[in-house]
Amino acid sequence: MTNEELEQLKYPIGAFNCPLEITNEHIKDWIEILEQFPNRLEKLVANLNDAQLDTPYRPGGWTIREVVHHVSDSHHHSYIRFKWAMTENNPVIKAYNEQDWANLHDYTSSIEISQLHLKAVHAKLVHFVKGLKDSDLERTFIHPETYKEIRLKKNLGIYAWHSNHHYAHIENVMKREGWV
């Protein structure tokens, strides 16, 4: 497999490209993606058996099962980051090692718990974000790996992209394997 083919498998929708000016239309679209994602994901994986769930989306990559668990954990972190940024002044958030989390025993378990968790986290996140003012979305947090300030409106876009990014990972392996 060429490096270009591997990059396409890693980033099937491309890397997140944040608009220079984030408009209210972007915000509305991103919230809609987050609102719909848990049900879209659930429908996508509904008929997969354990062998299919344990198929990596790319060589050396996570399995579909691990991707579902990862999305649940990652989006939980995102929700907490929104809350920190709204209750603290430009906080340094807590990062986590995604691969270490994926190596824990719960990433081999049934995906149903993570799907329920994702529905709950997205319901809370969407409700929370819809209640924010434009000025609230300008609030920031600092990511400790880059020490860059991230505005909440950008974080919203990152997690809308993240939803579509991992959805595409799963959808693409299902198409490659002829499961759809």
What residue segments make up the domains of the chain, in order of their start? 23-176
Closest CA to 82 of 25, 158, 7: 158
Q: What is the average pLDDT across 26-48? A: 98
Query: Is the backbone of residue 65 left (phi > 0), alpha (psi -120 to 50) or beta?
Result: alpha
Q: What is the average pLDDT across 102-130? A: 97
SS (H, E, C) the chain: CCHHHHHHHHCCCCCCCCCCCCCHHHHHHHHHHHHHHHHHHHHHHCCCCHHHHCCECCCCCCEHHHHHHHHHHHHHHHHHHHHHHHHCCCCECCCCCHHHHHCCHHHHCCCHHHHHHHHHHHHHHHHHHHCCCCCHHHCEEEECCCCEEEEHHHHHHHHHHHHHHHHHHHHHHHHHCCCC
Closest CA to 143 of 107, 104, 93: 93
User: Predicted confidence band at 1 (pLDDT cuts at 50, 70, 90)?
Assistant: confident
Q: What pTM was computed for the model?
A: 0.96
pLDDT tens digit sequence for 60-105: 999 999 999 999 999 999 999 999 999 999 999 999 999 999 999 9
CATH number for region 23-176: 1.20.120.450
Output phi, psi for 149, to 5 deg.
-75, 135
Amino acid at 89: N
pLDDT tens digit sequence for 137-156: 999 999 999 999 999 999 99
Percent of the chain with pLDDT over 70: 100
At residue 83, the pLDDT reads 98
The neighbour count for residue 66, using CB atoms within 10 Å, is: 23
